[in-house]
Amino acid sequence: MADWLERQFDIGRKPIGVVDRSGYFTPILPEYQGAFVPYDDPEAAEAALRADELQVVLIIGNDGLSGLP
């Protein structure tokens, strides 16, 4: 499933933050740890995004995906 996520975004130089409420995408597999960074809550991920540490944040809930540009 991480391959699908990676294809949806131009990974670029900054990683993608992931808040995974579903449990399907975490833990991040070793080969994707440079591209995806897990966060326990959206507030922490948003703080990293505002600090320009991430390119985007994906919030994965039981009902699907959403993103913070």
CA atoms within 13 A on the CB side of 63: 1
Average confidence (pLDDT) over 40-57: 95
pLDDT of 49 reads 95
Domains of the chain, residue spans: 2-68
pLDDT of 24 reads 83
The Cα 15–Cα 25 span in angstroms is: 15
Whether the pLDDT of residue 50 is over 90: the answer is: yes
pLDDT of 26 reads 86
Whether the pLDDT of residue 57 is over 60: the answer is: yes
Express each pLDDT in 6-41 by its tens digit. 666 555 689 999 999 988 888 999 998 889 999 999
